[in-house]
Amino acid sequence: MKRRNLILGLCVFMGFQVAAQELIWEENFEGKSINMENWSYETGDGCPDLCGWGNNERQIYSEDYVAVKDGNLVITADKVGDAYYSGKLNSKDKFEFQYGTVEVRAKLPDGHGLWPAIWMLGANIDQVGWPASGEIDIMEFVGRQPDTIHNALHTPASHGDTENIKSTPVEDATAGFHTFKMNWTEDAITFYINDVKTYTFSPEEKNEETYPYRHPFYFLLNLAVGGNFGGPDVDDSIFPKQFLIDYVKVYK
């Protein structure tokens, strides 16, 4: 705090204008259970409307695989018999916002076939569908690429395909906690990994097809198994595995 105040003081002294960010929402995963005022569970396999959740994923989501422990959200993926189980939360209808900076501190699980994600969907998805709602992938990781972290966006112009993506090498991606940040404005979305800028998305022409990011969005936190991006092959020897999230913070 002292160092931050010193930097701000120097900026003011030198004539720079500093825009202070206001913390408008935070989830620190304290206590012993999920705060249901902030989150809802998504359960099942997506059937019949979106089997495999649209990506040929192999897991069944269950509340039993989501917990709060030692100040972290813990999402566990496991194989029980012939079935894979994991957990997923969303903040739909509970916390939605438009524009700001998101910061998430998380520890990623290793293992071929795992696909943890920190992402957002447009709150209008029930009215317009996907990808018209827009999707912002603040962090995606797949175990088959153990030293790479992905930032991506899905738009109607790309037909939902992952054309707008930046894959960044990150040494020891699963060795400890990392900080993932996204700054979202009316005209651009910029991503950071451990405070290093990785990708800015700002199409020259902005409309509902190319930039469906001018309305409120909500969070999703999950750990998928397999799928189109996670890969068809899953190493069954790795289970159980845990995806840990320390906090989610939103600044304006």
**Is residue 167 assigned to a domain?**
yes
Catalytic residue among 42, 140, 205, 209: 140
**Is residue 11 assigned to a domain?**
no
Mean pLDDT for back-to-back runs of 10 residues, the chain (252 residues): 44 48 97 96 96 96 98 98 98 98 98 98 97 98 97 92 93 96 98 98 96 98 96 96 98 96
pTM of the model: 0.92
- Confidence at residue 19, expressed as pLDDT on a 0 to 100 scale: 57
**CB 161 within 8 Å of CB 170:** no
Per the annotation, the verdict on 163 as an active-site residue is no
Q: Which amino acid is at 49?
A: D
**Is residue 7 assigned to a domain?**
no
Specify the number of domains making up the chain: 1
Question: What are 132-147's pLDDT values in tens digits?
Answer: 999 999 999 999 999 9
**Is residue 12 assigned to a domain?**
no
Question: What are 165-179's pLDDT values in tens digits?
Answer: 999 999 999 999 999
Catalytic residue among 27, 57, 103, 135: 135
**Is residue 134 assigned to a domain?**
yes
Per the annotation, the verdict on 26 as an active-site residue is no
Q: Give the phi and the psi of residue 45 in degrees, each rounded to 5.
A: -115, 10
**Is residue 156 assigned to a domain?**
yes
What is the residue range of 81's domain? 21-251
**CB 239 within 8 Å of CB 113:** no
CATH number, domain with residue 235? 2.60.120.200
- Confidence at residue 5, expressed as pLDDT on a 0 to 100 scale: 46
Length of the chain: 252
- Confidence at residue 18, expressed as pLDDT on a 0 to 100 scale: 42
**Is residue 6 assigned to a domain?**
no
Q: How far apart are CA 94 and CA 27, in angstroms?
A: 12
**Is residue 202 assigned to a domain?**
yes
Q: How far apart are CA 137 and CA 120, in angstroms?
A: 6
